Amino acid sequence: MIHLLGFGILLFWLGVIVRVEKSRRAGTWKLGPEAPVDVALPPLQVVVPARDEAGNIGACVAALLASDHPELEVLVFDDASSDGTAAAAEAAGARVVRGKGEALPEGWKGKPWALWRATREVEAAWILFVDADVRVRPEALSRAHAYAIREEADLLSGFGRLEMGSFWEKVIQPSVGGLILAGNDLDKVNDPKRPEDLVANGQFILVRREVYERAGGHGAVRADILDDVGLARAFHRAGGKVRVLFMRELFSCRMYTSFRELWLGWTKNLYAGVHHRLSTVLVLSGFVFVEFILPYLLVPWGIWRGEPAVWAWGLALVAVIQGVRWWMDGIFQQDRPMGAFQVLGATLLVGLLLDSARRSRGGAVVWKGRRYQVRPEEDTLRRRPEG
């Protein structure tokens, strides 16, 4: 039994190497600073929703305004911040629209409501939605805009480089990020015949205004915790073309800075990300336990039981896991010594999955001082996508 289990786990980790290397070599869905700007770029308006982002918004706006895009305006929607966000955004050169701090309308989540109101102030035919914790490179906007025009994409989104500063970020974020990327094969995401696989990353979403309005804008995803994924599917339903790319060389994002932010942020999102399905959470938790945690337990278990085959398999599998993690951290330019905490990150990932299900099934999640009622029946991700 132990040999069958060991070979199964080993095959999984060898498969990880094959998948990562295949993706690197193909480069099909990668967009970088070397991409051509071979089309005329029309005016672009960037919308940044911000709620209590005084520590982030100045650097975000400065990076956007340093862009080489020929015609650009940055609009920050200050969602009733209490920390000087609006003043910091204005000082950095953005146009600021201030929310009035009114209660959310029935059925709306905070970010879709902020973005919906912000777009009422936009006139350009193209809009880029960027989060306040994003930092773009000077080439990012022009390359993304040119790609969208050239490929006739109506919504273009991408995965950037994940920045991590604190100990807990470096422990948790690689595990959660790895789970998300593993579950979103871009060959499938970008296949128009597979609308059920559509995703987007709210950190960076470029849209054609005409199709955005036809899709219902953020009003179409007013109840969604994951409004970005919902928006991609709304575009598909409206007949729009969606593209999602790897953009690690074009922008970066430091999502959370503390253990509390990490826990609240991911427990808000993860259960929605599996379409509010408890069965999926349980299957994923079991999978992470077997492939990422169990090998580390085999060593003490085998020694305690006096079974050399068990602890030998444990040692071999731990060596493989740590070797793959070392290799991948080198590829993605992460802090390699932190890979020693791989098993801790996996254990916390299981905790996040289960706690996200608990909180969401309990009826509410909390983020940025707002308590959101979770009503899965209202979430567009629960609906079967139209083919």
Domain extents in the chain: 2-23+272-382, 31-160+201-257
184, burial (CB in 10 Å: exposed 0-12, middle 13-18, buried 19+): middle
Q: Mean pLDDT for the chain?
A: 90
Contact 62, 93 (CB under 8 A): yes
Q: In 11-28, which positions are buried (b, 16+ CB within 10 angstroms) versus exposed (e)?
A: ebbeebeeebeebeeeee
pLDDT at res. 190: 92
| Tokens read off for 147 | 């790609």
* Residue 276 CA: distances (Å) to CA of 94, 273, 360: 38, 7, 8
Q: Is the model's pLDDT at 363 over the cut of 80?
A: no
Architecture of domain 31-160+201-257: Alpha-Beta Complex (3.90)
| pTM (predicted TM-score) | 0.90
Q: What is the dihedral of CA 377, 281, 361, 236, to 10 degrees?
A: -20
Please report, for residues 134, 209, 299, 318, the alpha-carbon distance to residue 129 in angstroms, rounded to integers and kept in the order given. 11, 12, 48, 41
Kindly report, residue by residue over 135-192, the tens digit of the pLDDT.
999 999 999 999 999 999 999 999 999 999 999 999 999 999 888 887 788 889 999 8
pLDDT at residue 338 in the model:
93
pLDDT top residue among 155 and 106: 155
Task: Indicate the pLDDT class of residue 381, thresholds 50, 70 and 90.
Answer: low
For the segment 247-274, the average pLDDT, to the nearest whole number, is 92
Which helix (H) or strand (E) is 244 found in, with range? strand 242-246
Q: Which residues contact 156 (CB under 8 A, 6 or more apart)?
A: 144, 147, 148, 205, 206, 207, 242, 243, 244, 245
Give per-residue pLDDT as tens, 305-358: 899 999 899 999 999 999 999 998 888 888 899 999 999 999 999 999 999 999
Higher pLDDT pick, 293 / 19? 293
Burial of 299: CB neighbours in 10 Å, binned 0-12, 13-18, 19+: middle
pLDDT tens by residue, 3-55: 898 889 999 888 888 887 777 776 789 999 999 999 999 999 999 999 889 88
Whole-angstrom distance, CA of residue 163 vs CA of residue 173: 9
pLDDT of residue 48: 96
Distance CA 239, CA 235 (A): 6
pLDDT band at 379 (very low <50, low <70, confident <90, very high): low
Q: Quick one: what percent of the chain has pLDDT higher than 70?
A: 93
Q: Is the pLDDT of residue 92 over 90?
A: yes
- pLDDT for 225: 85
Inter-residue contact 112 to 224 (CB < 8 Å): yes
Is residue 237 within 8 Å of residue 343, measured between CB atoms?
Answer: no
Q: How confident is the model at residue 250 (pLDDT cuts 50, 70, 90)?
A: very high
Rounded to 5 degrees, φ, ψ at 192 are -65, -15
At residue 366 the predicted structure's pLDDT band, cuts being 50, 70 and 90, is low
Q: What percentage of the chain reaches a pLDDT higher than 90?
A: 64
DSSP code string of 251-290: EEE----SHHHHHHHHHHHHHHHTTT-HHHHHHHHHHHII
- pLDDT greater than 60 at residue 377: no
Predicted local distance difference test score (pLDDT) of residue 362: 80
Q: Is the pLDDT of residue 375 over 70?
A: no
Which of the four pLDDT bands, split at 50, 70 and 90, describes residue 291? very high
Q: Which two tokens stand for residue 116?
A: 């919906």
Joined together, the tokens standing for residue 196 give: 């059920």
pLDDT digits (tens, 9 = 90+) for 189-223: 999 889 888 999 999 999 999 999 999 999 999 98
